Amino acid sequence: MSLSVILIVLLAAVLHATWNTIVKTAADGAITLGLVALGHVLPGTVMVLLLPLPSAESFPYILLTTVIQFGYFYTLCQGYKFGDLSVVYPIARGIVPALVSLWAALFVGEYLPFQAWVGIGLIALGIIFSSWSVLRSGIKKRAVGFAIATGIFISGYSLTDGIGVRLSGNTLSYWAWGALLNIFVVMFLGMRYRAVLPHMPARTWVIGVAGGMVSMVAYGLVLYAKNFAPLGAVSALRETSVIFAALIGFVFLKEGYWARRLTAAILMVAGVTTLSLAV
């Protein structure tokens, strides 16, 4: 894997950690996720109007990833009802790299060498270890179940997008349409919370939409990288966002213990290095 691709995906991971930090103070997770989706729709609409259509072959994948992301939003919201962000998020993200690598092998014939699996394992271990003190304190079974379901949905749309963007003939167009179709998530949550939305503070709207725009940039960077690197490897690098979020929390929000987070970062660096040398 080239250094440029590694840096692009790591930048996407930092951006993803950043928008999660931005929305961390939100009072209602479901409404905030709707505003994040709106932050995709607004620039996506402009891009769709300016860019050519992606290839016809890629549209089934755009539609499929939209359906899968509905499942993702649902299980993530349910997970947050029964468990904290610091519990649900690491579990959901920690299982994704291995799942994407498995799906890529089964459905795309993209097999990774043993060394790459070692790198993925180190990254996953770092993700779990970054929140180990919370995870070992006791977790509700429902929270674990929804976290695992969320990870499965993430791996599903990660694979779908990887195939779709390679068929699209235009990464920017695929990116734009994927962002625009978040409008169905916005419409669903908008109808569900229509009585609450008019009373939401302006700050909540700004934070949610701004977080969504940052998220969209991160999404586009990952899509670009999937054209040039194995899907499992890209996913493993992408999920380092959990560790970046933990480091941001430690440095800027004074959360957690430095030794545990430093160890998680070392595991991440070791995993990224091993992975980059393997593919």
Instruction: Work out the pLDDT band at 247, boundaries 50, 70, 90.
Output: confident
Domain region containing 13? 3-278
Most confident of 15-19, 96-100, 153-157, 271-275: 153-157
Q: What integer pLDDT is reported at residue 253 of this predicted model?
A: 61
Please determine, for residue 259, whether its predicted confidence score (pLDDT) is greater than 90.
Answer: no
Sign, CA dihedral 101-103-108-109, equals positive
Tens of pLDDT, residue by residue over 108-167, are: 999 888 888 898 888 888 877 766 665 566 567 787 888 889 999 999 999 999 999 999
Q: What integer pLDDT is reported at residue 51 of this predicted model?
A: 97
What does the alpha-carbon distance between residue 44 and residue 225 come to, in Å, rounded to a whole number? 19
Q: What integer pLDDT is reported at residue 133 of this predicted model?
A: 63
DSSP 63-110: HHHHHHHHHHHHHHHHHHHHS-HHHHHHHHHHTHHHHHHHHIIIII--
Tokens of 277: 């040398």
C-alpha distances out from residue 191 to 16, 67, 187, 205, Å: 27, 18, 6, 16
What does the alpha-carbon distance between residue 121 and residue 187 come to, in Å, rounded to a whole number? 38
Tokens of 206: 């700004």
Cα-Cα-Cα-Cα dihedral of 167, 173, 175, 177, to 10°?
A: -100
Tens of pLDDT, residue by residue over 5-44, are: 989 999 998 888 787 666 665 556 678 778 889 999 999 9
Q: What integer pLDDT is reported at residue 252 of this predicted model?
A: 67
Residue 131 phi, psi (nearest 5): -125, 30
What does the alpha-carbon distance between residue 69 and residue 250 come to, in Å, rounded to a whole number? 30
Contact between 79 and 147 (Cβ < 8 Å): yes
Residue scoring higher pLDDT (180 or 137): 180
Tokens of 148: 């695992």
Q: What is the mean pLDDT of residues 242-268?
A: 70
Question: How many domains is the chain partitioned into structurally?
Answer: 1
Q: What integer pLDDT is reported at residue 261 of this predicted model?
A: 67
Please determine, for residue 222, whether its predicted confidence score (pLDDT) is greater than 90.
Answer: yes
Tens of pLDDT, residue by residue over 47-95, are: 999 999 999 999 999 999 999 988 988 888 788 777 766 667 777 877 8
